[in-house]
Amino acid sequence: MRFVSGLVLLGLAAVVAPTASAHHSPVMFDQAKTITLEGTVRQFQWTNPHCYIQLVDAAGTEWSMEMGAPIYLMNRGWKKSTLHAGDKIRITGAPLRSGANGGLVLDVVSLDGKTIGRPS
């Protein structure tokens, strides 16, 4: 019985481990490039496992910019109330390799030049 339980746990670990590590892989972002986006916050999503800034640029294009988990952002000075719909910001980030309108947030600055949070 103990042997069977051990096999079940080993099998479960083999299935779960690759999924967990793949989820946190940054391979979907081209970190050799950066993009700078300026626009209006449509929504700031303070959610696990990642926070997101939905940004609409001057052309009306919506960008979905991924951030870390809330606990990591809190350590960098962010709060759930840091950004609001309508805020005007500039984001520097690593673009999605796919070319879709999204990326990984590296730095956020208000349009008057004030850094929001602490840069990564």
Length of the chain, please?
120
pLDDT values of the chain reduced to their tens digit, one per residue, 120 residues: 554 444 444 444 444 444 444 456 789 999 999 999 999 999 999 999 999 999 999 999 999 999 999 999 999 999 999 999 999 999 999 999 999 999 999 999 999 999 999 866
Domains of the chain, first to last = 27-110 (2.40.50.140)
Query: Residue 7: its pLDDT value, please?
Result: 43
Q: Which of 109, 90, 103 is closest to 36 using CA atoms? A: 90
Query: Residue 26: its pLDDT value, please?
Result: 81
User: Which residue type, as a one-letter code, is found at position 27?
Assistant: V
pTM of structure:
0.78
Q: Which two tokens stand for residue 47?
A: 């959610």
Q: Which of 69, 71, 65 is closest to 24 using CA atoms? A: 69
